[in-house]
Amino acid sequence: MKEEIIKLDKVDKNYILGDSIVKAVRNASLTIRKGEFIAIVGPSGSGKSTLMNLIGALDLATKGRIFLEGKDIEHLEESELAVIRGNKIGFVFQTFNLIPTLTALENVTLPMVFQGFSKEERIERATELLKDVGLEERMKHLPGELSGGERQRVAIARALANNPDVILADEPTGNLDSKTGKHILEILKDLNKKGKTIIIVTHNLEMARKVDKIIKIKDGKIVK
């Protein structure tokens, strides 16, 4: 059996809105192993994005424990969590989250600035990553000069900048047409074949059927 990389143990996540408490995730337990390709699915408001934030150490649990490679992240300082996010986890967002004033190449080099890479190393690695996703001719273009699919490929290259073990993708094809979405899925599948653990959040059941394991969430609870 493959080594576990992420584990949630009876995790709750609550938010306070005015006088109300919103129970976004309730009693969630799951184990994700290295090299798995997983989809988190559920209707809008089910808690799937909150679950992704907990898995990616973007948020901490209200109750329960979260482990990354056996380390309980609930007891880490924010500076330690930032290092983990920078080294271990790459994020791909539905809205791309690219910096509009930076070229594709500059967007991909940015995460490496905070990890101590030299300028030459950053440019060399970013160039290779953009070639890997088929954008060698578009590296000097700004995000506004790229199509939606091209921007998502830049976002994937940026997520890979620090060679993380895990890629977390929130609705990675949500803003794309079906043909482009299939191409993005093929890129993610290829990364998985190379050993990356891929976790996608999606409401697209056709996309979810392409993965190894589906985690269904409803009303904040993992139901399957």
Per residue in 46-56, pLDDT (tens digit) is: 998 899 999 99
Per residue in 81-101, pLDDT (tens digit) is: 888 888 889 999 878 899 999
pLDDT at residue 132, rounded to an integer: 92
Domain boundaries, the chain: 36-59+77-222
β-pair partners for 30: 8
β-pair partners for 40: 201, 215
pLDDT at residue 119, rounded to an integer: 93
- The CA R_g of the chain, rounded to the nearest whole Å, is 17
The enclosing H or E element of 181 equals helix 178-193
Q: Where are the beta strands (DSSP E) in 46-153?
A: 63-68, 71-72, 89-92
Per residue in 108-118, pLDDT (tens digit) is: 999 998 888 89
Helix, strand, coil distribution of the chain in percent, nearest 5: 35, 30, 35
Which comes out higher in pLDDT, residue 200 or 95?
Answer: 200
Fold (topology level) of 36-59+77-222? Rossmann fold (3.40.50)
